[in-house]
Chains A and B, each alone.
Chain A
Amino acid sequence: MRKICLLLLLCLAPMLTGCGSLYNERRELETLRLAETLGLDPAPGGVLLSLAASSGAGDETPCCFSGVGASLSEALEALRRRSLEAELFCGHLQHVLVGEAFARQGLDALLAAVCRSSDLRLDMPIYLVLDAAALDALSSSGDGKTSASDTLTSLGRGREASTLSSAGAILRDLDRQGCALIRSLRLQPSAETDPSVYTLVPEGFGILVDGKLRELIGPEDAFAAELLADTLTPCPLVLRDVQGRTVTVELQSGGTKLRPLWGEDGSLAGLELRVRVEAVVLEIDGFTQVADEGSLNALTARLEAELSRRIGRVLRLSRDLEADFLGLGPRLEQLSPGRCRGLDRELGTLLPELTLRLVVQGELRHSNDIN
């Protein structure tokens, strides 16, 4: 009996080699084109899905395919039919680009697909393309050798890495607060001198409310949103000193401390936001020194005023939209769990009635003065 079993097992062994036609999903690695970026735009009666594939193992240039369908799956099937020669492999998708029009209709279909699909990862960043379709961004960015996927990969490694809005983070925030931030990009010529080559440039954030794009945060206020969300990454900020000279400081680190202001009846009356920023002086017009206490204090005051102005704008936006896209609610709950459970409404809807007290504290740690 044992010998018969062994013989049977030996007969079955060839099935494990992966050769022949035993597996209908078998594909040769060198013929595969890895789809890296998924683009989504609205189309009449459905969705326009585009995929940017890498150059592959051979000498092929990056390519872009698209398909239209009533749903994501149907559009993907239409795309596959168009790209039969290319042997597209979608199991290694790295980024998702959504056109502004698609985002305004809502990301629910995409986010639901992320939860269901075995190809889409939750840590995959989702970007919003402003004033352009995702298909345009995928097909027209790059110089023929590089593609939009390369730009997005660089973005993922660079300054925007820590503030990328991944599918998982968006889903989590939409579940928790009903709104979320999504990083926005703009399609622009890569150099002023060569308008024929386009690239994707980081812009700011889009604000998703109930899964739909409602408002935008411009590039000048992006760092303020990052500060309030405690995800600041170093970035330059241009100020004017008391003499009217241009001073560039680099915001190196910072964060926001939240303190609830409770009313006498136990209700939430307001919020105090203490923003702390550490910066260094990068550049000043001329050979001026600012290392003396008076100059530094004056510059710090300018820094604090500028930060207050920009942070105030983001907070006003949050209040106007009645959307807690900065995640203040969950942080408040960490501070006063018992009292926050007693609130009858979400923080977002409470924001218009709350007193918001903003305290900005800047510190210039180094002036890089010439000695």
Chain B
Amino acid sequence: MQETHPYSFRQLRSLVGMALLSPILRLIPGSAAVYAGRAAWAGPLAALPLLLVYAALLSRLRRLMLPGETLPELCLRALGVRWGKTLLLVLGAWLLLYGGFVLRAGADRLLVTIYPRSGEGIFVVSMALLALLAALGPLRSLLRVARMVEPILLLTLAFILLTAVRDLDRSLLLPLTAADAGALLRGALPSLDILSFALAALCFFRPAQTDRPGSFRRSALWVVGLSLLLTAVGAAIQGRFGAALSTRFSAPFFALVRNLVFFRSLERMEALVVGLWIFPDFLLTGMTLSAAQHCLRLVFSRPPQPGERRLDLGNGRLLIWLCGAGMAALGLILGQGAASLLFWSRTLIPLLQLSVALLLIPGIFLLGKLRGRL
């Protein structure tokens, strides 16, 4: 996506990293603990080798991008107009579906933790409106929000993790033996899902060319850092509750916060922490909506131009509004009922996400290479 003001790779990493806190706290370690039991906390470390290979592939892909190009433009170049647009339609639809699911999951978290007597509609619609507002403007606004909330969120997370470490029960985390290898690999799936999305998301946006956007080293260091963060979150929750108990909470991280006592006097801080986690939801939905409208505008041959005005409806910008409405509608109709939401959260969305990240995007690269267009 072309921007009037270029941004750095670091800013982009902040945006994606902060946005990821939303699925991290939803899926870690609850989902991993279901698959891996006691080995769940080490899942992110087990996923790391594959993630590094994936990071290398995507770095290569980013290096092949021409100035001003992002993954959607590269897709058109690599596959040709017909197949490229078809694939962009699929990518756009997937991003809208994912955004809608994030809206629904965020609303559910607020219902479960703070507002049990409310309905999800108000949260879905208000977050969708905020995401629309962000997507109507340049990506720079989202990047700024991410940079502003990054220290607050990371400090809060660090503070919670440090407080939780005090009551860690080692026997709930260790020992891990060779017999746990299979479980460990199964437990790596949620981390693979989250972090492959992060790496793929970097390709939808274009930092300044001078900022070496294709650097593997920086992507690798970033993904190692995120893996360690996921491991720390998983270990803190699992080391306190155990794998079996972690799976019983609908939001294990917030259950952890609810049961912490800070400085022997301060407790019941979960409302504040859940409140803070609105920012990752906002960043994630804003980011997916931006990427989705970009894909779909390319399908209709109306690529985004630098310096577009927020309320301008020309050049296919009506699609941004339509995408926002579609995302909100998906958020309202997805996962009706607890069992359905669990199925979407633990099975369908991770499966689709892994298919897009590990099959579709590498597929673009391979086909582009085979056809000699990259």
Contacts and interface: CB of A to CB of B under 8 A. Distances in A.
Interface of A: 1, 25, 91-92, 112, 115, 118, 121-123, 168, 171-172, 175-176, 330-331, 333-334, 337-338, 341
B184 to A, nearest CB: 14
Contacts of B179: 338, 341
A170 to B, nearest CB: 10
B175 A334 contact: yes
A341 B244 contact: no
B259 A172 contact: no
B172 interface: yes
A260 to B, nearest CB: 14
Interface of B: 112-114, 116-117, 169-172, 174-179, 240-242, 244-245, 248-249, 255, 258-259, 261, 267-268, 270, 311
Contacts of A122: 241, 255, 259
Contacts of A333: 171, 175
Contact of B175 (A121, A123, A337): A337
Given A337-B177, A341-B179, A118 B116 contact: yes
Interface centre among A91, A92, A123, A334 (most CB of B within 10 A): A123
B197 to A, nearest CB: 29
Given A341-B177, A341-B179, A330 B241 contact: no
B258 A121 contact: yes
Nearest to B260: A123
23 contacts: A91-B268, A112-B248, A115-B245, A115-B248, A118-B112, A118-B113, A118-B114, A121-B267, A122-B255, A123-B259, A123-B261, A168-B240, A168-B259, A171-B241, A171-B245, A172-B172, A176-B242, A330-B171, A334-B171, A334-B174, A334-B175, A338-B177, A338-B179
Given A168-B241, A333-B175, 13 more contacts: A1-B311, A25-B117, A91-B268, A112-B248, A118-B112, A121-B258, A122-B255, A168-B240, A172-B245, A334-B175, A337-B175, A338-B177, A341-B179
Contacts of B240: 168
Interface centre among B114, B240, B245 (most CB of A within 10 A): B245
8 shortest interchain CB distances as A-B pairs: A337-B175, A175-B244, A122-B259, A115-B248, A330-B171, A341-B179, A337-B177, A172-B242
A118 B114 CA distance: 8
A330 B169 CA distance: 11
Nearest to A330: B171
A329 to B, nearest CB: 10
Nearest to B261: A123
Given A333-B171, A337-B177, A338-B177, A172 B241 contact: yes
Contacts of B177: 337-338, 341
Contacts of B255: 115, 122
Nearest to A337: B175
Contacts of A176: 242, 244
A252 to B, nearest CB: 24
A333 B241 CA distance: 18
Nearest to B249: A115
B329 to A, nearest CB: 25
